[in-house]
Structure formats: structure tokens, C-alpha cells
Amino acid sequence: MGSEPDRKRRHFSSISPTPAMANKQPFAQLSEDKKLSTAVLQYQNQKLAQKIEAQKIEYSALENKFSQLKEKQKPRDSTVKAVNKSWKGLGIELESCSARTRDSNVDQAVKHITIIRDGGSAFLEDAFLSRLSQTGATECSSGNNCLDQIEEDRSIAIEKAMNSLSNSIAAINDLWHIMDGLNAAVLKELPGDGICGQMASCESQREAKNLRLMVGDLHSKNKSVARELQKCQDIDVKSKAELMYLRGELESLVAELEHSKCELATLKAERDATKGAFFPVLNIGNKHVAGDRARDKQKELEEMESALKELSDQASSRLLELKNLHDERISMLQQLSNLQSSLKNVKCIFFSQAFLVLRDQMEKSKADAFQYQALFEKLQAERDVLLWRERELSLKNDLVDIFRRSSAVSDSRVADLGIEIQKQTNEIKVMETKLEEASREPGRKEIIGDFKALVSSFPEEMGVMQRQLNSCKEAALDIHSLRADIQSLSTVLERKAKECESLSARSASQVVEIKNLESLVEDLKQSHAELKLLLSMYMHESTGPRDVLDARHMEYKAWAHVQSLKSSLDEQRLELRVKTANEAEARSQQRLAAAEAEIADLRQRLEVSKREMSRLSDVLKSKVEENEAYYSEIETIGQAYDDMQTQNQQLLQQITERDDYNIKLVLESVRARQLRDSLLMEKEVMQREIQQSKISLDFYNVKALKISDQLRTCSDQIQTVSEDKFQKSITLENTQKRLLDVRRASNQARESLDDSQSKIERSQAALLELQTESERER
């Protein structure tokens, strides 16, 4: 478009001749060409002027309408601002109320937060889209063209609304769960005669289920309506964008029209210049060039006319589209108001199918959770039983090891005694053979007599050996007595282990009872909250006659009396259980003290055995000293024997006497050697006994340490059980206090929620009316 005026100027400049050319061209041809070109230009200029005037009229009409709409919109903008302020205040109040309910129900909200996040996020987003779309539309209609700021405000408002609604839904779900638990507990504890009460509770349960089904249906409907509203909002945004685009196109068309006006003004100025100029002579050869230029100009003007027609057609079509979009928007707003009015109906929400399905799923999940909790408790009890069995088996294995060790010691002692007896029998046989050989020699009667005396002394030695065997048998009897003591100690330990098992079983049963009480308290809370919610619903929805209201009032009083009786019964039961638990704890402490006393007795016995071992070591030392004395005597005897040999060389006459004396000395040396060998054997046996007793004592010490450690663990477990019991009683009191706080907070939240819902409904109705009026006026 910018190049066309330059091209036209070039054409007109080519038409205007210089004075040198005018001298060469004839005047007649110039006058004819001038007449033709001026006529065509005048005709085209007239058409363009007419079109420009028509567009000016339309543009002025549109400007008047736009100014009128702005004037009408000014008071509405103020009302919209006031509505937005009130809406923001309501959102802040709702958020604070929901935060208070969330803080009060923080223990119970953790259980159901996953359900709210899964199923409630889409519902929240869909439920508040319509209201937020209305606020966004009013802001756009007020003349704010910053779309990014609108989107940010909308996202912030959506987040706040979602937080407040999620908290309120969590509080309502907690109240429902509390009501369910209370209802179940009441039904369990009702006597068999209260058939009317059970029937009434069943009917109330059916009504509650029906209400929740209606809420599910309304939830699904609300989702579908929210989707439709989202589509409408998208269409509205698209229409707004198209309006902006059409405004830009109108502005561009106005600019083009102004540009065409400027071009027409230049053309008129050139035409006036051509009229005032005098052309005396024109050349014949330039006639065809001027005709071609005129044709080009005519073509360009025709193209401009066609472009103007197309633009006017487009503007008219866009205006029709805008009108249709305004009509569609008004109809959509009416549908939106109808849908919002249907959504506000709480009965439809409670009797909806989706709400009932969700309630059934929640009940199934609750039943599964209780079942899994019971399985977990059973597995924990089985684990405790297995641990106690493992400890019993370890104690039994330790006792078996002790018995095996003692039996091995006794077997080794018997084997050593058998070897000694075999040696003594072999020595006796050797001595008998020596006596027979000596009796066969001649002239040795005295020697034979001495040997017979020596043989006669053997029974005495055998008696000594018999005495030693008797002492060994007595030691074996002592070992048997020690075994009996060990068995008695093992029976005592088994009895103590069984007592510890019984104490652990009682503590586990008490823990299970405390858990059951906690679950019962939670169910009572849930049922109480649900019953309160139902009562509030019945009180709000009560529109029947006065008899019905009186009957309901009497029913409420009876229900409150039942609740008070139930709470007193629960308190009595809790007191009885606490008393039984305290008595069981005192018994377990008495038994533990008895077990500690028995352990002290066992330690005293171990000290006595150590003293006996020290006494035996002293006896062994005395035996060693006696052996040294025998050694010294044997040395003296050897010296005397040497002296006798010297005397035998000097006194050959006394050979016989010396021989007899030598035989006696030999016999005494043999006896001394036998005594020395027996003492050495006794020394070795005593050393072995001492080593075995040391080993057994170390083994017994290790086992006693293990048993003491096990008793400590049992006492620690009993202490932990008592501490857990005390802590659980404290937590039960805290839960009761929290239940009262939750009840108060739920009542406050319910009242604030009812007030906020009424305010929201009023503001929404007023806002919808204002929007419909504004759209109709547009």
C-alpha cells in the first residue's frame, strides 16, 4: 500500500510535460487526453468518497456505542470491585476456619489425607472453576487488558479455595468416621431388649447411606458441570481473543482509510494542477503511453475498490459473529446459574451414586485396615512366643551341656581308677612270682618268712587302696549331689522362665487391651461426630409438624442419656482394667524379687564349692610335703645300706646277718617305692581333679552370667511394659481431651461453614444477576 502513492506520483509526473516538450506536441491531442483522464478520475474519486463517508458514519456510530458502554460500565465496575472484595473476604474467612478445623483434627486427618488428595483435587478444581471464571470475566469486562495478571490472580484464588475446601472436606470426613465408629460401638453395647433402638439405628444408618449416595451423585454431576463450565470458559476466552483481534483489524482498517484519504487528497491536488496548467503542443508519439498509464491507474483503482469491499464484508461478518457470541454467552451464564442452583442442593449431593460408591469404598478400606491390624497383632504375639521358646531352648541346651560335661568328668575319673586297679593287680602278681622264686632257693627260709610277712602286709595296703577307692566313690557321690543341685537349679530356672513367659503374655494381653480401647475411643469419636452431623442436618431440615419435632427432641434427650451412661460404663471398665494391671505388676515384681533371692543363694553355693576346692589344694600341699619326707628317708636308707656294705667287707662273719638286714632294707625300699608311686598317682589324680573342677567352675560361672543376663532382660521387659502402660494411659487421657476439643471445634466450624455458605450463595446470586444484566446490555 505504501508503494502505490509513489507509483501514482511517478505516473502524474510523467504526464506533466516540460516547456521543451510542449513546443513539439500539438494542442488538440493534449486536450482530448486531458478530458478522458479527468473524467475517469472524477468518477473513481466520487465512488471512493462515497465509500469513505459510509465508513466514517459506521466508525462514528461504533465510537458512540463504545463510549456509551464505557459510561454504563463505570458504575458496574465499582459494584464488581465491591463484590470481589467481599468474595476475597469470604475466601479468607473460609481458609481460616478450615485451618482451625485442620489443626484441631490433625491426628485424624493424617489417616484420610491420601483419600482427599486422590479424589478431592479434581473435585475441588472443577467445583471452583465456575466461580473463578465469573470473577475473571468481570475483571476482563472492567477494561483490564493485562491477561497475565488475571491468570495469576485466578491461580492464586484457585489455590486458596482448594486449600480451604480440602480442609473442610477433611473435617467432614473425620466427622463421618467418628460417627461410624460411635454407631458401631453403640450397636455392640446395646442390650438384647433394645430392639426399637436397634431398628432406629438401622434406619438412621440407611438414611445416612442414602444421603451419602446423593452426595456421590452430586459429586459426579458437579464434575460434569465443571467440565462444561471449563469448556464455556475456554469458549469465552477464545471469543475475547477474537474480539481483540477484530478490534486490531478495525484499527488497521481505519488507518488504511486515512491513508487512502491522504492519497485521494494528493490525487485531487494533482488534478487541480493539471487543470490550471496550459499545454500548447503535444507529441503524437506520447499518445499511446498516456493511454497505457490511464489504464494502469484504472486497474489500480478497481483493485482498491475490491479490497475495500472485501474489508467491509469481513467487518460485517465479524460483527455478526460478535453478536452471536454475545447471545451464546448470555445463554451459558443462564445455564451456569441453573447448574449452580442445582449444585447448592445438599440432598442431591448426599443421594448421588458416586458419593455412595465412595462411602462404600471407604467402609471397605476401613474394614481391610482393621483386619490387617488384627493380623499384625497376631503376628507380633506369635513373634514374642517364638522368642520365649528360643530362650527356653537355649537354657535347656546349656543345662544339657553341663550334664554332658559332668558325665564326661566322672567317666574319665572311673577310667583312671580302673587303670590304677589294673596296675595294682599286676604288681601283686609280680610280687607273688618273686616269692615263689625265692621259696625255691635253698637256705633262704628267713627271706621267705620276710616275704611272707611282706605278703601278709599286702592286705593292709589293699585296705588303704580300698579306703582311697571309697574316698573316690564319696567324691563321685558328691558329683552326683552336685548334679542333683544343678538339676534343681535348672528346674528353678525353668520355673522362672515360665513365670517370665506368663508375665510377658499378660503384658502382651494388656497391650492388646489398651490398643482395643484406643480403637474403641477412636470409633466412639467418629460415631459421635457423625451423630452430631446427622443431628445438625435433622435440625436444619426439620420442617414437619410440631409432633414430629417433639418426638425428635425426646429422641435427642434419650440419645444424650444413653451417651452419658455409656461414658460412665467405659470409665468404670477402664478403672477395673487399670486395677487388674497394677495387681499383676505387683505380683510380677514380687516374683522377680524371689528369683533374685534364689540367684543370691546359688552364688553362695558357688562360693562354698570354691572354699572346698581351696581346702583340697591345701591337702595336696601336705601330701607333697610328706612325699619329700619319704624321699629324705629313702636317701638315709641308701646311706645306711652303703655303710652296711663296707661293714660286710670288713666283717665276713656277719654275712648272714647282713644278708637278712639287706633283705629287710630291700623290702622297705620296695615299700617306699610303692608308697612313692602311689603318692605320685594320687598327686596326678588330684591335679586332674583340680583342673576339671576349675574348668567346670568356669563353665558354671559363664552359665550363671548368661542366666543373670536373661533375668535382667526379663526385668527390663517388665519395666518397659509398665512404662508403656503408663504412657498409654496418659495418651488415652490426652485423646479424651482432644475429643472434647474436636467436638467444640467441629461445632464452631459447622456454624462458620453455614454462615459462609449462605454468604457465598448470596454473593453468587448477585454476581450472576449483574453479569446477565451486563451481557444483555452489551
Which three cell numbers mark 578?
Answer: 487399670
Residue indicated by cell numbers 478450615: 98
| Percentage of the residues of the chain whose pLDDT score is greater than 90 | 0
- Amino acid letter for position 228: E
Model confidence pLDDT, tens digit, residues 494-535: 776 677 677 767 767 776 777 777 777 677 777 667 767 766
Q: 527 has which bridge partners?
A: 178
| Whether pLDDT at 128 is above 50 | no
| Whether pLDDT at 127 is above 50 | no
**String of DSSP letters for 386-411:** HHHHHHHHHHHHHHHHHHHHHHHHHH
Whole-angstrom Cα distance, residue 484 to residue 499?
22
Which one, of 661, 667, 665, 669, lies nearest residue 631 by Cα?
Answer: 669
Instruction: With cut-offs at 50, 70 and 90, classify the pLDDT of residue 652.
Output: low
| Whether pLDDT at 458 is above 70 | no
Reduced 3-state DSSP string for 312-356: HHHHHHHHHHHHHHHHHHHHHHHHHHHHHHHHCCHHHHHCCHHHH
Whether the CB-CB separation of 685 and 584 falls below 8 Å is answered with no
Model confidence pLDDT, tens digit, residues 314-335: 777 777 877 777 777 777 777 7
- The pLDDT value recorded for residue 344 is 57
Residue indicated by cell numbers 593292709: 460
* Phi-psi map region of 361: left, alpha, beta (phi>0 left; psi -120 to 50 alpha): alpha
Least confident of 8-17, 42-51, 625-634: 8-17
- The pLDDT value recorded for residue 637 is 65
- The pLDDT value recorded for residue 343 is 58
Model confidence pLDDT, tens digit, residues 338-395: 666 665 555 555 666 767 777 787 787 778 778 877 887 788 778 777 877 777 787 7
Average pLDDT of the residues in 602-627: 69
- The pLDDT value recorded for residue 633 is 67
Whole-angstrom Cα distance, residue 467 to residue 474?
10
Instruction: With cut-offs at 50, 70 and 90, classify the pLDDT of residue 124.
Output: very low
Which three cell numbers mark 618?
Answer: 591345701
Which one, of 126, 304, 84, lies nearest residue 231 by Cα?
Answer: 126
Average pLDDT of the residues in 419-441: 72
Whole-angstrom Cα distance, residue 655 to residue 647?
10
Model confidence pLDDT, tens digit, residues 744-764: 876 777 777 677 667 777 777
| Whether pLDDT at 192 is above 70 | no
- The pLDDT value recorded for residue 617 is 63
| Whether pLDDT at 22 is above 50 | no
Which one, of 428, 453, 499, 495, lies nearest residue 674 by Cα?
Answer: 428
Whether the CB-CB separation of 155 and 173 falls below 8 Å is answered with no
pTM, two decimals, is 0.24
Q: What is the largest CA-CA distance in the chain?
A: 211
| Whether pLDDT at 158 is above 70 | no
Work out the angle between the directed axes of helices 195-276 and 106-141 (0-180°, nearest 10). 30
Whole-angstrom Cα distance, residue 81 to residue 72?
15
Return mean pLDDT, the chain: 68
Whole-angstrom Cα distance, residue 525 to residue 178?
4
- The pLDDT value recorded for residue 451 is 58
Whether the CB-CB separation of 338 and 232 falls below 8 Å is answered with no
| Whether pLDDT at 587 is above 80 | no
The neighbour count for residue 351, using CB atoms within 10 Å, is 20
| Whether pLDDT at 708 is above 60 | yes
| Whether pLDDT at 734 is above 80 | yes
Average pLDDT of the residues in 140-145: 41
- Amino acid letter for position 36: L
Instruction: With cut-offs at 50, 70 and 90, classify the pLDDT of residue 438.
Output: low
